[in-house]
């Protein structure tokens, strides 16, 4: 059998111990050629075919020899392999020119991968990325339905066809709702995101969009609304306003009215605002239970309420004041979370008298002061703003400041380089109460 290796992307990069693949002698560097006679084009096909209980797996070894392994397994058993490219095929780039696109606002000198605009439904399924559905062919949509790619995360922004074409700058953008109806008919679950831009898709347009999405419930699980982010690197881009206290308050009032209506109508609040709106408006966030299981947690919806509950519950489990050696530590966070983290630090110090915690608010000079979330803080700003501070023995940061699968900041500085530059241990913490408290008290 002749194979053009250059066109084969499914190179095996890892074989798990005690897996089916290891038992068969499959090795790193081998190529997965086919399963049950079908060539594998992407990870979705791979996972779909893997659900069969009888497999004929065709592998090409590094020396060019080809083996076919006959495998009988349970339907949910995995082979135990990973690929050099996590989606096997090449990710599909985005051809949109959204007025609010954050990638278009990036300065030079950042990680190269940050400048790639993906709009790939496979990444939506695998990694939680949001896709606009405008860069998809009929075959792509058919494959979502055929392979039951669910849930899929969709960047909606507006269901008004003309307005969506204007905001996304793609002549196919107006077809969104008909595609979503087709996915709902196939019982594909969808999570929706709306990047809210004052003067574009807010107010009446926002109500219209949420109403249209609610018509597709329960296949549209929920809609998350996040405020547009504007960096200082917007030369030659359309003018955009950001939310201030007045407009954020108006948006909260609008969504609260809709939430009450949908709670009565379909038993869910359905539409949720990210925490940033409440911080900008200086308003109290929803109660823990009102976030209904934190469906849109990754969009920053209810993140603060969830972390606060987890920290408080964890501290309550401590039956007596913690006895730990006397130490001084620091936490670096963004503007948005500063007051909350300061409050949590006070609660930890109240429980653990020997721990002194200083919380530092990092101003985002790299992107501009209008960017206030912790996840967009760079190592450069941490170094510049904390280099002369008495940080104690350890500096704690949110894990969201780092790349998901690598300890590197947005400005291409690694965690190790930051520690060496500042001559201090830097410990990333997850957005989980037990992880946060454990790492501080350990």
Report yes or no: 173 and 226 within 8 Å, Cβ to Cβ: no
**Lowest-pLDDT range, 143-157, 366-380, 426-440?**
143-157
More confident residue, 141 or 344: 344
Distance, CA of 188 to chain centre: 20
Residue 96 lies in a domain: no
Name 158's Cβ contacts closer than 8 Å, sequence gap at least 6.
164, 167, 194, 200, 201, 205, 208, 209
Task: Render the burial of 406-432: b for 16+ CB within 10 Å, e for the rest.
Answer: eebbbbebebeebeeebebebbebebe
Confidence band for 7, pLDDT divided at 50, 70 and 90? very low
> Quick one: average pLDDT of 325-337?
93
- CATH code of the domain containing 23: 2.30.42.10
Residue 366 lies in a domain: yes
Instruction: Provide the 3-class DSSP secondary structure of residue 392.
Output: coil
Domain termination site, one of 266, 301, 336: 301
Q: Kindly state whether residues 75 and 110 are assigned to the same domain.
A: no
pLDDT above 70: residue 256: yes
124: enclosing H helix or E strand: helix 121-127
The tokens for 235 are 């030369």
Dmax (CA) of the chain: 71
Using CA atoms in the order 392, 398, 403, 408, what is the torsion angle rounded to 10 degrees? -10
The tokens for 150 are 């669910």
Burial of 162 (0-12, 13-18, 19+ CB in 10 A): exposed
Residue 333 lies in a domain: yes
Report yes or no: 380 and 413 within 8 Å, Cβ to Cβ: yes
Report yes or no: 274 and 373 within 8 Å, Cβ to Cβ: no
- CATH code of the domain containing 264: 3.80.30
Q: What confidence tens digit (pLDDT) does each residue in 51-66 have?
A: 778 889 898 998 889 9
pLDDT at 289: 96
Name 147's Cβ contacts closer than 8 Å, sequence gap at least 6.
44, 45, 47, 48
Q: Kindly state whether residues 113 and 248 are assigned to the same domain.
A: yes
Q: Kindly state whether residues 187 and 275 are assigned to the same domain.
A: yes
Q: Kindly state whether residues 66 and 205 are assigned to the same domain.
A: no
Q: 211 to each of 31, 52, 162, 204, 220, how far by Cα in Å?
A: 48, 40, 17, 11, 12
Query: 56, 100, 82: which is closest to 228 by C-alpha?
Result: 100
pLDDT at 84: 73
Confidence band for 92, pLDDT divided at 50, 70 and 90? low
pLDDT at 111: 65
pLDDT at 62: 85
Whether residue 218 is preceded by a cis peptide bond, meaning omega within 30 degrees of 0, is yes
Residue 94 lies in a domain: no
Name 132's Cβ contacts closer than 8 Å, sequence gap at least 6.
94, 96, 119, 154, 155, 168, 170, 173, 176
Please name every residue paired with 396 in a beta bridge, in sequence order, or none if there are none: 331, 427
Whether residue 151 is preceded by a cis peptide bond, meaning omega within 30 degrees of 0, is yes
pTM of the entire structure? 0.78
Report yes or no: 68 and 1 within 8 Å, Cβ to Cβ: no
pLDDT at 319: 53
Name the phi and psi angles at 330, rounded to 5.
-135, 155
Q: What confidence tens digit (pLDDT) does each residue in 282-303 have?
A: 999 999 999 999 989 888 899 9
Q: Kindly state whether residues 393 and 264 are assigned to the same domain.
A: no
Q: Kindly state whether residues 198 and 177 are assigned to the same domain.
A: yes
Residue 59 is part of which domain span?
Answer: 6-83
Q: Kindly state whether residues 220 and 246 are assigned to the same domain.
A: yes
The mean of the pLDDT values for the chain is 86
The tokens for 438 are 């454990």
More confident residue, 231 or 442: 231
Q: Kindly state whether residues 390 and 324 are assigned to the same domain.
A: yes
pLDDT above 80: residue 218: yes
Q: Kindly state whether residues 343 and 258 are assigned to the same domain.
A: no
Q: Kindly state whether residues 257 and 319 are assigned to the same domain.
A: no
Residue 242 lies in a domain: yes
Q: Kindly state whether residues 130 and 155 are assigned to the same domain.
A: yes
Q: 233 to each of 104, 132, 253, how far by Cα in Å?
A: 8, 24, 32
pLDDT at 95: 67
Q: Kindly state whether residues 343 and 391 are assigned to the same domain.
A: yes
pLDDT at 89: 47
Report yes or no: 271 and 223 within 8 Å, Cβ to Cβ: yes
Instruction: Provide the 3-class DSSP secondary structure of residue 29.
Output: coil
Residue 97 lies in a domain: no
More confident residue, 99 or 326: 326
> Quick one: average pLDDT of 11-38?
88
Q: What is the DSSP letter of 16?
A: -
Residue 213 lies in a domain: yes
Q: What is the DSSP letter of 291?
A: G
pLDDT at 159: 97
pLDDT at 418: 97
CA angle centred on 92, ends 90 and 94, rounded to 5°: 150
Residue 1 lies in a domain: no
Domain termination site, one of 269, 301, 333: 301
The tokens for 43 are 């990870």
More confident residue, 103 or 336: 336
Counting residues of the chain whose pLDDT is more than 70, the rounded percentage is: 89
Most confident of 38-47, 112-121, 323-332: 323-332
pLDDT above 60: residue 90: no
Domain termination site, one of 28, 54, 83: 83
Q: For the chain, how many structural domains are there in total?
A: 3
Q: Which DSSP string corresponds to 160-196?
A: -HHHHHHHHT-TTGGGHHHHHHHHHHTT--EEEEEEE
Query: 374, 356, 358: which is closest to 428 by C-alpha?
Result: 374
pLDDT above 80: residue 40: no
Q: What confidence tens digit (pLDDT) does each residue in 169-199 have?
A: 888 889 999 999 999 999 999 999 999 999 9
Q: Return d(Cα 212, Cα 315) in angstroms, integer.
A: 43
Q: Which DSSP string corresponds to 210-257?
A: HHHHHTTTTTEEEEEEEE----S--TTS-------HHHHHHHHHHHHH
């Amino acid at each position: 059998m002749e194979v053009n290796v250059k066109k084969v992307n499914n190179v095996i990069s890892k074989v798990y111990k005690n897996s089916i693949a290891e038992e068969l002698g499959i090795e790193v560097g081998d190529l997965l050629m086919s399963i049950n006679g079908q060539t594998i084009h992407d990870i979705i096909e791979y996972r779909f075919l893997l659900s069969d209980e009888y497999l004929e797996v065709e592998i090409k070894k590094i020396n060019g020899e080809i083996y076919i392994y006959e495998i009988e397994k349970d339907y949910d058993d995995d082979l135990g392999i990973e690929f050099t490219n996590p989606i096997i095929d090449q990710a599909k780039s985005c051809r949109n020119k959204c007025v609010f696109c954050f990638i278009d606002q990036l300065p030079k000198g950042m990680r190269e991968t940050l400048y790639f605009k993906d709009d790939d439904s496979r990444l939506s399924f695998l990694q939680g990325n949001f896709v606009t559905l405008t860069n998809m062919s009929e075959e792509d949509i058919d494959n979502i339905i055929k392979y039951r790619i669910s849930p899929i995360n969709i960047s909606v922004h507006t269901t008004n066809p003309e307005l969506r074409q204007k905001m996304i700058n793609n002549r196919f953008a107006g077809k969104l709702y008909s595609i979503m109806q087709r996915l709902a008919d196939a019982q594909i679950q969808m999570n929706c995101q709306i990047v809210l831009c004052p003067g574009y898709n807010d107010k009446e347009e926002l109500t219209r969009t949420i109403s249209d999405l609610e018509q597709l419930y329960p296949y549209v699980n929920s809609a998350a609304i996040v405020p547009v982010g504007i960096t200082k690197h917007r030369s030659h881009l359309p003018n955009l306003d950001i939310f201030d206290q007045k407009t954020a308050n108006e948006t909260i009032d609008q969504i609260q009215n809709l939430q009450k209506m949908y709670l009565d109508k379909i038993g869910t609040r359905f539409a949720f605002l990210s925490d940033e709106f409440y911080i900008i408006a200086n308003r109290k966030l929803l109660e823990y239970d009102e976030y209904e299981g934190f469906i849109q947690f990754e969009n920053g919806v209810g993140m603060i309420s969830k972390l606060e509950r987890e920290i408080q519950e964890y501290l309550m489990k401590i039956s007596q004041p913690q006895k730990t050696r006397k130490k001084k530590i620091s936490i670096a966070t963004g503007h948005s979370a500063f007051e909350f983290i300061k409050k949590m630090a006070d609660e930890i110090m109240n429980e653990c008298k020997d721990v002194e915690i200083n919380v530092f608010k990092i101003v985002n000079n790299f992107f501009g002061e209008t960017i206030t979330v912790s996840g967009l803080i760079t190592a450069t700003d941490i170094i510049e703003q904390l280099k002369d501070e008495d940080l104690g023995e350890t500096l704690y940061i949110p894990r969201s400041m780092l790349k998901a699968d690598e300890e590197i900041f947005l400005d291409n500085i690694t965690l190790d380089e930051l520690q060496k530059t500042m001559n201090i241990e830097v410990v990333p913490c997850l957005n989980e109460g037990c992880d946060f408290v454990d790492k501080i008290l350990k």
